[in-house]
Amino acid sequence: MQTITVNYVQRDEDWTVTVSGLGKTLNGEASGIIAARDRADQLVEQLTGEGASPTVVHLLNGSAYEFTSTYMTARLTRSPEDTSATDVSDESTDDSAKADADAQAEETAPQRDETNSTPAVPRKTLSHEPDSAPQRLAHAG
């Protein structure tokens, strides 16, 4: 599979996105790096078709690290009122991922004994006293 490259260029608060791959180039614009990343996803989908999962490299000033740093900083520092329709789709993805994780946890969780509802695997309780471990070591030697 061929790699698709997304180049980001910032002009004040606006971003230009250029998606290149599969012998084609598509361009788009957005306000803010988060919206630019969303626009890039749309352009990649136009380029590859729905359902494809290509390898996509996002670059800012020729650096994947610089893009990731800038994008994650924007994601982590945005205020609650900055939420958008994109966040709604992120939440639905998070919900399905959470459901998958819950289902997997149920499959791997220890089975309970139906007669007394205690876990089948015994658990050891650790001491909460900070001085107890060093004293035992001192007496052991």
Q: Looking at the predicted structure, is the pLDDT value of residue 54 above 70?
A: yes
Q: What is the pLDDT of residue 53?
A: 81
In this structure, are residues 22 and 45 in contact, taking their beta carbons and an 8 Å threshold? no
Which has more confidence, 22 or 106? 22
Task: Say if 109 falls within a structural domain.
Answer: no
d(CA 35, CA 58): 14
Range of the domain at 39: 3-91
Is 113 domain-assigned?
no
How large a percentage of the chain has pLDDT more than 90? Answer: 45
Q: Is residue 120 part of a domain?
A: no
pLDDT > 60? residue 79 = yes
Is residue 20 very low, low, confident or very high in pLDDT (cuts 50, 70, 90)? Answer: very high
- In whole numbers, what is the pLDDT of the chain averaged over residues? 74
What's the pLDDT score for residue 26?
96
Say which CATH number the domain at 29 has. Answer: 3.30.420
- Alpha carbons within 13 angstroms on the beta-carbon side of residue 133 total 5
The number of residues making up the chain comes to: 141
Q: Is the pLDDT of residue 59 over 70?
A: yes
The number of domains in the chain is 1
What is the rounded distance in angstroms from the CA atom of residue 25 to the CA atom of residue 17? Answer: 10
| Concatenated DSSP letters of 70-112 | HHHHHHHH--GGG--HHHHHHHHHHHHHHHHHHHHHHHHSPPB
Residue 60 falls within a domain, yes or no?
yes
> Is the residue at 83 inside a domain?
yes
Residue 50, pLDDT score: 76
Confidence category of residue 2, pLDDT binned at 50, 70, 90: confident
Kindly tell me if the per-residue pLDDT of 97 is higher than 80.
no
